[in-house]
Structure 1
Amino acid sequence: MTMRERLDRAWPSLVALLGTVGVVLVLLFIFGDNTGDGTGDDLGDIVVGDDPEFEEDPADEDDEPTGEPTDPADPEADESGEDAGESGDENENGEEPDPEPTTAPPELRSPVGIANQTAVQGLELRAQERLEAGGWEVAATSGFEGNVPATTVYYPPGMEEQAQALSRQFPEIGRVEPTFEGVNQTRLVIVLVEDYSDVVDG
């Protein structure tokens, strides 16, 4: 068999091999930037586990402090003048007024990631604009599939103060919780829920 005949027979195999290599390289280029260094804009930059879905423990919803109801039959409560009708710290509906937003000092403004759990397209980008206008750096944005009950900022160990400062500056981010496994462990991560959309659109 001549060299030309060998090349003619091997040529289809070489073409198939080169095609396969090309496809692999393209896939690596598209999906390979999952190093969590803050440069990517996909979900992998925020959630690095194999399963991007997250269902928060329902017990977490009970962690938020709730005031004890006042017994209307308690004479001490009537004499104290601290019911809803007499308290100067409550509005006409008997609810305490929302605290005024407090701008976080620059030293507490650390980079954050924003994940959109809602079906509202581009909500994470609108949140990014609001945060950046307030002096915060947004390192990454993405969608998110999970069951977070309300808009929450999750903080890694040692960053609770930054998370609290962010929540005070943006009261629409009402929950502050420790981070969970699978989320970027180097920065704050905000998960947007429908209540955030209500505030922004309102």
Structure 2
Amino acid sequence: MAFPSPVVMLSVIAVAMASITFVATRDQAPTERRVDTATIASADQSPSVDPAPADPKPEAKPEPQVKRGEVYVEVFNNSGIKGLAATTAAKATQVGWAVVGEDNWYGVIPTTTVYFPPRLQAAGKQLALDLGIKRTSPAVGVMKRDRLTVILTTDAPQ
């Protein structure tokens, strides 16, 4: 019995990983809801019957500070636009992120995304803000769990 060639096996593995990445990175249904501002405005204008002093507002929990220079970032180009990963990596470096690599990404990614491991979620959101990227998502597949992964598509901010 003859075994398939290594190229065939690698192709099958690549297709499987691309499928897993596609399924894991699909957009989820929006969780936002519409707020009727007219109702809020009329509630604010209604006279108060009880002139009791207002309860002091609880202090908001401070957002964790992200130390950009202590977080590794890899930038991948999935757009076909030559030099996009290098340009974006340079922008990230200019604002203080520790960019440790840039390359091309092979697979299907629906839109430009910053992927983060669970412990770096706040950093992932900050990096997305810094670069003008609208989508963040938990890391999937072969992405390293000690860094942020940016995958750029044709809709990447330039």
* Cα pair distance change 1:106/1:154, threshold 3 Å: closer
Partner-residue secondary structure (3-state), 1:146:
coil
Give the aligned partner of residue 153 of structure 2: 193
Q: 1:106 deviation in Å?
A: 6.0
2:136 to 176, 179, 191: 176
Percent of residue pairs identical = 19
Shift of the 191–79 alpha-carbon distance from structure 1 to 2, 3 Å rule, reads closer
Structure 2: give runs of 5+ residues left out of the alignment. 1-12, 42-63
Equivalenced residue count is 120
Q: Could you tell me whether the CA contact under 8 Å between 1:53 and 1:144 is conserved in 2?
A: no
- Structure 2 counterpart SS, 1:183: coil
Aligned 1:19-30 pairs, distance under 5 A: none
Larger Rg: 1
* Superposition TM-score, scaled by structure 1 size: 0.51
Q: Using a 3 Å threshold, how does the CA distance of structure 1 residues 162 and 78 change in structure 2: closer, same or farther?
A: closer
CA distance in 2 between counterparts of 1:108 and 1:132 reads: 9
* Correspondence list, 1:99-118, <5 A: 107-109=67-69, 110-118=71-79
Cα pair 2:68 2:96 within 8 Å, conserved: no
Match of residue 26 from structure 1: none
- Which residue identity is paired with 1:179? A
Relative to structure 1, the CA distance from residue 59 to residue 145 in structure 2 (aligned partners, 3 Å threshold; closer, same or farther) is closer
Q: 1:165 and 1:59 mapped to 2: Cα distance? A: 19
Q: Which amino acid aligns with 1:62?
A: Q
TM-score (norm 2): 0.64
For residue 27 of structure 2, the aligned residue among 61, 64, 78 is: 61
Q: Using the alignment, how far apart are the partners of 2:25 and 2:99 within structure 1?
A: 30
Structure 1 unmatched ranges of 5 or more: 1-49, 71-76, 83-103
The aligned counterpart of 2:124 is: 163
Aligned-residue offset at 1:121: 0.8
Residue 93 of structure 2 is matched in structure 1 by 132
Corresponding residue number in structure 2 for 1:37: none
Q: Aligned match of 2:83 in 111, 118, 122? A: 122
